[in-house]
A = this chain, B = another copy of it.
Amino acid sequence: MQTITLTEIRRPERQFAAFAPSATDPNDCAQCSSRRFCMPDDLDFGDAPGLKGVFGNYRKVRQGEAIFHAGEPFRNLYVGKVGSYKTVAIDREGREQVIGFPIAGEFMGLDGIGTGFHAFDAIALEDSTVCSVSFKALTATAERNLNLSNHLHRVMSRELVRESAMLMMIGRMSAIQRLVAFLLDLSKRYGERGYSMHEFNLRMTRDEIGCHLGLTLETVSRGFSKLNALRLIKCLGKSVSITDMAGLEQIIVHSIPQ
């Protein structure tokens, strides 16, 4: 297999090493690759006294480790710095639903603001680094900084729109269309963050994908096989290479050919 895997593109060990020495220095945000996603463009640490200590507190998590659990008191928001994650809701009957697969630069924990308790579990899908943000300190600072306040509103609103797009997808699309929408969304988000849009590694299992899309793992697996057969992707286990982006987009519109 000659596709470049995401592990190679990312080199997590090197990033870990690079971040480790300044792991508690807020000013390191200036160099953080997720900065433009997690705070407003024009935010300057000089502007707001007390902003130091709000951002920039890193924490490493190992694969499978939880960043927070549903039911825990809500204190911090988290932004993925390196790595990938899943957020999972579990209802009274014990059924799981994977709400999303946040990657670096995306917020986790917004669900806790409403009730003061987290509604989801957030789990690292690989060895990762998250930046924790004290919500109390954030809102106190936001009170004196309209920019930061607006930024938080925008982040939450976009999350609302993203979830409604998911609703649309699960409500109206066939299994293969959901799978394609999932791949295109992932591709777009990797692209926005400087990774390859065409070649990446899935960090989650078929079961977790199914749980996200409202499908069984077998249907997900058959979907990947079908997309392989149609020569729209080359997928071998967790390694995915998109070979016909336009073809995939057609499936969203017209369902599957032949």
Q: Is B153's CB under 8 angstroms from A156's CB?
A: yes
**Contacts known (A114-B161, A149-B139, A161-B119); A97 close to B167, Cβ less than 8 A:** yes
In Å, the complex CA distance between A168 and B171 comes to 11
| A44 CB-CB contact with B under 8 Å | no
In Å, the complex CA distance between A91 and B164 comes to 11
Q: Is B110's CB under 8 angstroms from A160's CB?
A: yes
Q: Is B167's CB under 8 angstroms from A170's CB?
A: yes
- 1/0 per residue, CB under 8 A from B, across A162-197: the answer is 011111101110000000000000000000000000
| A25 CB-CB contact with B under 8 Å | no
In Å, the complex CA distance between A127 and B35 comes to 47
| A238 CB-CB contact with B under 8 Å | no
**Contacts known (A139-B146, A157-B112, A157-B113); A97 close to B214, Cβ less than 8 A:** no
Interface residues of A in 203-258 (CB under 8 A from B): 211-214, 252-253
Q: Is A153's CB under 8 angstroms from B171's CB?
A: no
In Å, the complex CA distance between A158 and B252 comes to 30
Kindly name the residue among A95, A110, A154, A157 whose own CB sees the greatest number of chain B CB atoms within 10 A: A157
- 1/0 per residue, CB under 8 A from B, across A70-107: the answer is 00000000000000000001010101010100000000
| A111 CB-CB contact with B under 8 Å | yes
Q: Is B160's CB under 8 angstroms from A114's CB?
A: yes
Query: Which residue in B139, B150, B214 is a CB contact (below 8 Å) of A153?
Result: B139
| A28 CB-CB contact with B under 8 Å | no
Listed by A's residue number, 21 A-B pairs whose Cβ atoms lie within 8 Å are: A91-B165, A95-B172, A97-B168, A97-B171, A111-B157, A114-B154, A114-B155, A115-B161, A119-B164, A139-B153, A143-B149, A153-B156, A160-B163, A163-B163, A170-B170, A170-B214, A171-B211, A171-B212, A171-B213, A171-B214, A172-B214
Chain A contacts to B: CB under 8 angstroms: 89, 91, 93, 95, 97, 99, 110-115, 119-120, 139-140, 142-144, 146, 149-150, 152-161, 163-168, 170-172, 211-214, 252-253
